[in-house]
Amino acid sequence: MKGNLLVVHGGGPTAVINSSLYGVIREAERNESIGSVYGALGGTAGVLAEKFIDFSTVPSAEIEMLKQTPSTAIGTSRTPLTPEDYDRMISIFKKHNIKYVLFNGGNGSMDTCGKLYRAAKDEDIRVVGIPKTIDNDIAITDHCPGYGSAARFVAQTVAEIAQDVRSMPIHVSIVETMGRNAGWITAAAALAATEYSCGPDRIYLPEIAFDEDKFLSDVQSIYDRKGYAIIVASEGLKKADHTPIVDPIFKIRRDTYFGDVGAHLAELVLKNLGIKARSEKPGIAGRASILNQSSVDREEAIQAGAAACRAALEGKTGVMIGFKRLSSDPYQMEIMDVPIEEVMLHERMMPKEFINEDGTGVTEKFTEWCRPLVGGDLLKFAWFNK
C-alpha cells in the first residue's frame, strides 16, 4: 500500500519556503510509492486539527507559482506542543496513512522535528527536516534556504538608502535589521559597498557587545568627515552584560518581540550629538520580498525539498538536509544529511573570522562567503558628484 507524505511549515516564513515545498511535490510525483502529498494548513496547529490540502487536487500551473510566491502558501505556526500532542500527531498520521513527514523550518521547527522523530521511532513513519530561516542560525549546515534572499534584500536596500543619503548629506541614517541573536543578515549589508555604492559606514552585530560611547564617537567622526553616516544595526544588539540595549516588548520561550533598536540609536544621535538622524526598519519586508529573491536561494530551496523527499523514501529518518560548501569561487556546494539531534535548538552565530578587528564591520572572508548566496550582482548606480 502506498504511503502518503505530509509537509509541515513552522516558524517565520521566507521568500523561498514555497520553493522547498515545490521541490517536495515535484520529486514525489516521480515516485510511485507515494500516494498523496499533503500540506498541513497552518503548521503543527493544522496537523492537530487535521487540516490538510492534497496537492494532487491543485492544478500544475498553481504548483509552478510556488517558486515566485512569498511567505508560505500553506501557512505556518509557532504552536507550543506537549508530549501528548506528539502522541496525538502519530495517531493522526496513522489515520491518514502518512508514512513520510517533512518539517520545513528553523531552529524551533527542527526541535519539533527531532521530538517527533523520537515519538515515531517505533512506528513506520519517517521524519526528515528541511532547513529554513532568514536568520541563518541553524547549526552544522553552511547556510540555510531563506538567508540568501534576506541577505540580498538587506544589501540592495542599504545600497539604495546609501545613494539617497549621500545625495543630500545632512543626516545619519540607521537601518535596523532582523536576525535575533545572530548577525548574519546584518552582516550582509557589507555587500552594498561597491564601486557603484558607498555602502554602510558601520555594521553593529549582536555577537559584539554594544558600547554606546564608542558608537557616538564613531558616528561623530564619520559625520565630521563626510557630512552624513549610514549605520546598520541588528535588532538583537546587547550590552556587555548581555542585556538588550532596548528592552524587549514581549518575550516568552523563544519568541521575542524586540524593542525598536533603530529608533533608539537615532534618538541617541539626536540627543547626544545634535545631529539629524532617522531610522529605517524594513522588518518583515526583508523576508517577504519576492522581487529580491535570490536565484541561488530559490534553486537550493527546491533542491533541499527534493532531497528531503528522497531521504524519506530511502528509509532515512531523524535527519535534516544540510549544505556543505566545496568552493566559494566558483561557488559549489553539495547536499548532506545531518542528524537532527545535532541541530535541535543549537544557534549558529557569526564566527570570529567573519567579524573585523574593532567589531563594527565584517571581513573580506565573510563577503567572499556571502556573495554567491545572493544570486548575482546588485543594481548598479551612476554617481557624478565626486
Cα–Cα separations (whole angstroms), residue 379 to 153, 158, 161, 182, 200: 11, 12, 13, 27, 16
Residue 206: which residues within 8 A CB-CB, separation 6 or more? 179, 180, 181, 182, 183, 186, 234, 236, 237, 238
| Residue 179 counted as an annotated binding residue | yes
Distance CA 66, CA 17 (A): 9
- Written as one string, the DSSP assignment of 146-166 is THHHHHHHHHHHHHHHHHHHH
Residue 81: all three cell numbers together: 506542543
82 is in an annotated binding site: no
Report how far residue 33's alpha carbon sits from residue 116's, in angstroms, rounded to the nearest whole number.
Answer: 23
> Which residue in 14, 29, 64 sits closest to 310, CA to CA?
29
Name the catalytic one among 54, 87, 122, 135. 135
What 3-state class would DSSP assign to 331? strand
Confirm or deny that 135 is annotated as ligand binding. Answer: yes
Q: Is 137 a catalytic residue?
A: no
Is 340 marked as binding a ligand? no
315 assigned ligand-binding residue: no
CB contact at 8 A, 127 and 113:
yes
The residues annotated as belonging to the active site are 135
Residues annotated within the binding site for diphosphate are: 12
Residues annotated within the binding site are: 12, 107, 133-135, 178-180, 235
Residues annotated within the binding site for substrate are: 133-135, 178-180, 235
Residues annotated within the binding site for Mg(2+) are: 107
